[in-house]
Amino acid sequence: MKKSVLILCAALSLSACSLFTPYKVPVTQGNLVTQEQLSQLEVGMSESQVTYLLGNPMIRDTFKPDEWHYMFTVLHPATDTQTSEVNNLMLIFSDGVLTQIENN
């Protein structure tokens, strides 16, 4: 009797693992850029003005220091996970002045 109860408990506990999926924490990376911030962005702004408005860029290439990339990704999103309205934004500067805005 004890052996059958033990086997039954082991079987039920092992099968319970397959019934539920484990909780995965949403992982957000990058800059949260809103449409309002994007509308305030203008060609001719200085690097410090852009940094004040959007924050530091996610990627600043060593070989192309005049290209700033603002990216946002979410891994395992939940229903209440905050998302960015702009996922991939590239800003190109020339002599410290914003010359081109590319929003993909």
* Tens digit of each residue's pLDDT (9 = 90 or more) over 23-73: 788 888 888 888 999 999 999 999 999 999 999 998 888 899 999 999 988
DSSP symbol at 36: H
Both tokens assigned to 18: 């397959």
Query: In 3-state terms, the chain is what percent helix, strand and coil (to 5)?
Result: 30, 30, 40
* Tens digit of each residue's pLDDT (9 = 90 or more) over 84-98: 788 889 999 999 999
| Domains of the chain, earliest start first | 23-103 (3.30.1450)
- Residue 93's CB: how many other CB atoms inside 10 A? 17
Q: What pTM does this model have?
A: 0.71
Residue that is written with structure tokens 């962005």 in the block = 41
DSSP H/E element including 14 = helix 2-19
Compute the average pLDDT of residues 12-20: 64
Instruction: State how beta strands 59-60 and 67-75 pair.
Output: antiparallel
